[in-house]
Chains A and B, each alone.
Chain A
Amino acid sequence: MKHKNLWLFISLLLIASMLLASCGGGKPKTSVLRVWIQWGDNPQQLQELFDKYTAETGIKVEVTAPVEPDKILPSLTGSEPPDVLVLSGGDLVKSYYKEGLVEELTSAIQAGDIDLNDFFPASLDQCQMGDKILCLPWGTDMYALFWNKDMFEAAGLDPETPPATMEELVEFADKLTKVNADGTIEQIGFLPDQAWSHSDLYVRMFGGFWYSEDGTQLTANSQPVIDALTWQQQFYTKYGADNVLALSSGWADAYMSADYPFYTGKLAMYVDGEWMTGPNFISAFKPEASYGVAPFPPPADHPERANTAVVQGTVAVIPAGAKDKDASAKLLAWMMSPAIVAEEFCFNANLPTSKKAAEDPCFTSNPKFKEFVDLMASPNAKYIITTPISLELNEALGLVEEQVLHTGADPKPLLDALQAEFEPKLQEALK
């Protein structure tokens, strides 16, 4: 026929796209398990750790670390979620479960023969909703005060003595902050929200939290929350929030590099986690830094709150869309075995979540890390409270905090609005 070539061409075009589709779309590698880890201090070492599983079982494991928070949800809802997902914090797991994105793990625990008694009970708490277990803790994090000894010396303070109360911390910060003649800031003594918000710690120091202890009520506009925000605000407004922001712009982005202000002499004190004392951070980026670690000081009129710390776990979940739940369960069980927990978190300088792993002497050999281990045993060390609305609430809280700290806004009306908006949502979600 006259248009034979045309038909031929069109059909070739369609066939070409079909072929491309089939060869690009087919993924025969069902024998590769994919593990995504939200934190990624040392991706190479993580891959090497999981290569041990390959050595034992012959199943190849592909590690992706770190994972941006923005990519977590798309990966869970996409067609190719990882087989095991390790999240930086347990606070969003309940939200994910509500959306049907993660598996309930009771059967996986049985299949993998995981000993629930080996976990520190507090760490397992954040994963439990009623009698359902939504995740398993894998390493845990804790925060304390870090200070730069050289800067202390230069300001005339004893480099070995950190502030003993929150009031003293404010005094020290004053001495350690240098302002130039034109108002710009040369160095900052203490920045409360570096490298991310630590309101959970400060609110505990003021004696409360934004949830009730049993997680059934929202207390976002309670006095401790207001006090915590007001206390943080002074570090910005005292020198002019604009001036502080001019200096600290971009600091959060430099967290894993040698330009982090704590290393370059721009920030004297701040709150950070136990991993800093390990091989992946200060020792890697700025071995010349001489620094100290101590528990965050309590307010002067509440010494009973000394050694208050907020413990946040990293948790492992099995996505609901994982292809082979059995294989995921087995991998999870291997990850939870005390030997692996000890090895990974000894190296990475994180706190172990397995009682047996915690007996390993390596956890007490590093004196700075030992501060955290001791802190964990304190009666004031509390796990973060989570609910199914944590996802949205955390965002909203972050916005309020940003407004209060960076623009000097009054926290009370903002928190009142937050409370009014989210209390009904919490009640709705808990039904």
Chain B
Amino acid sequence: MEELRTNRKWPWPPKLLKWKPRQRVNFRVGMLFLLPWTIGFLAFTLYPMMASFVYSFSIYHSKQPLEWVGLQNYADLLKDSLFWQSLSNTLYMVAIGVPLTLLASFFCAVLLNLKVRGQSIYRVIYFLPSIVPTVASTILWLWILNPQTGILNTLLGYIGIQGPNWMSNPAWSKPGLILLGMWGMGGTIVIYLSGLQDVPIHLLEAAELDGANWWQRLWHVTVPMVSPITLFNLITGVIWMFQYFAQAYVFRGSHSLGYPLNSTLFYSVYLYQNAFLWLKMGYASAMAWVLFIIILICTLLLLKVSERFTYYAG
């Protein structure tokens, strides 16, 4: 009888009451150390999350009291053509910009891993643009992408290509922004570089002995070995790209947000416009929560899909 009672693992009463004094002391100490984060979490994460959740179901114009409207904001979002446009603009960057940049940075990392003279100088050159502050590099690229006086189109002209209107043609504004993003991918290159250096040499040697050429070694050994890094970069890149704001804001110069023709109206930019330019804070909060859900779904999808492709050594 006694055995039966003590062996059963009841979830109730909760373990809290069963803590040994040692645990209780540890908990107290732990909470003390955690105090900065706890206060921060409550004040700057939890409270705002709950507040914006409430706002998303209301009409809130800042100076006037909150007006509960239930799901009206969300319904309006579905009917809002600018919402869909901003979403598609952002998805363009996420689906094209992020993988392209990852591919390019992996390629650059491979290059920088080769034994060439002046390797360290090249590494500095590839990395330096990534620490140029965002506003400065965006303005610089506005200068570079100018259709008639910018050097990009001038250089393209030397090889006989007539460069497009990077800034006033809606089809080319996003590619221009992607170029800007690639210019600053030094950080990703460094992460890949250190990952490349961790690829076990014995695997590469074995492959070489097996007669694998350079490309086969790359594809069958290196890429799988750095796949955890690829996954990490992919997820962080996607999460970051969904929140793309500063570059688009600066890129439009003195034109209206989203110039040209709303092609640079990204989700975050449209949200900002709604919240701070048109004072539709409830509507903007609804947009924010939709964004959160989209990011969660994308991240989960990526993790699910990646299980097939990532390889974790040991």
Contacts and interface: CB of A to CB of B under 8 A. Distances in A.
A13 to B, nearest CB: 6
Contacts of A74: 276-277
B253 A250 contact: yes
A337 interface: no
Interface in A91-111: 99-101
A407 B255 CA distance: 17
Given A3-B29, A320-B63, A406-B168, A73 B146 contact: no
Contacts, number: 79
A392 B165 contact: no
Contacts of A392: 278
Contacts of A249: 146-148, 165-168
Q: DSSP majority for the A interface?
A: helix
Interface string A387-431: 000011001001100110011000000000000000000000000
B32 A250 contact: no
Interface string B242-272: 0000000000011111001110000000000
A252 interface: yes
Contacts of A321: 63
B23 interface: no
Interface stretch (A124-132, A136-144, A240-248, A374-382): A240-248
Interface string A242-262: 100111111011010000000
A245 B276 contact: no
B61 interface: yes
A165 interface: no
Given A101-B63, A406-B168, A252 B255 contact: yes
B151 to A, nearest CB: 14
Contact of B279 (A99, A247, A248, A402): A99
Contact of A245 (B61, B165, B256): B165
Interface in B33-74: 33, 35-36, 61-64
A253 B32 contact: no
A73 B279 CA distance: 8
Interface string B146-190: 111100000000000010011111000000000000000000000
B240 to A, nearest CB: 23
Nearest to B276: A74
Nearest to B275: A74
Given A77-B279, A398-B256, A403-B261, A6 B29 contact: yes
A252 to B, nearest CB: 6
Name the residue among A99, A246, A406 with the largest chain B CB count within 10 angstroms: A246
Contacts of A6: 29, 32-33
B148 to A, nearest CB: 6
Interface in A1-56: 3, 6-7, 10, 13
A70 interface: yes
A379 to B, nearest CB: 34
A252 B254 CA distance: 7
Contacts of B169: 242, 245
Contact of A246 (B32, B62, B165): B165
A419 B36 CA distance: 54
A100 B61 CA distance: 10
Interface string B110-142: 000000000000000000000000000000001
Interface in A58-73: 70, 73
B18 to A, nearest CB: 24
B165 A242 contact: yes
A74 B63 CA distance: 12
Contact of B254 (A242, A253, A399, A403): A253
Nearest to B64: A100
Given A245-B169, A249-B168, A10 B63 contact: no
B273 to A, nearest CB: 9
B253 A253 contact: yes
Interface string A272-302: 0000000000000000000000000000000
Contact of A399 (B35, B146, B262): B262
Nearest to A259: B149
Interface in A138-197: 182, 184
Contact of B277 (A70, A100, A242): A70
Contacts of B167: 249-250
Nearest to A68: B254
Q: Which 7 A-B pairs have the closest CB atoms?
A: A246-B147, A245-B168, A249-B168, A253-B253, A77-B62, A100-B63, A249-B147
Interface of B: 29, 32-33, 35-36, 61-64, 142, 146-149, 162, 165-169, 253-257, 260-262, 276-279
Given A252-B253, A402-B261, A406-B260, 4 more contacts: A7-B32, A10-B32, A10-B36, A399-B261
20 contacts: A3-B29, A3-B32, A6-B32, A10-B32, A70-B277, A73-B279, A77-B63, A100-B64, A101-B63, A245-B147, A246-B165, A247-B147, A247-B148, A249-B168, A250-B167, A252-B253, A395-B256, A399-B262, A406-B168, A406-B260
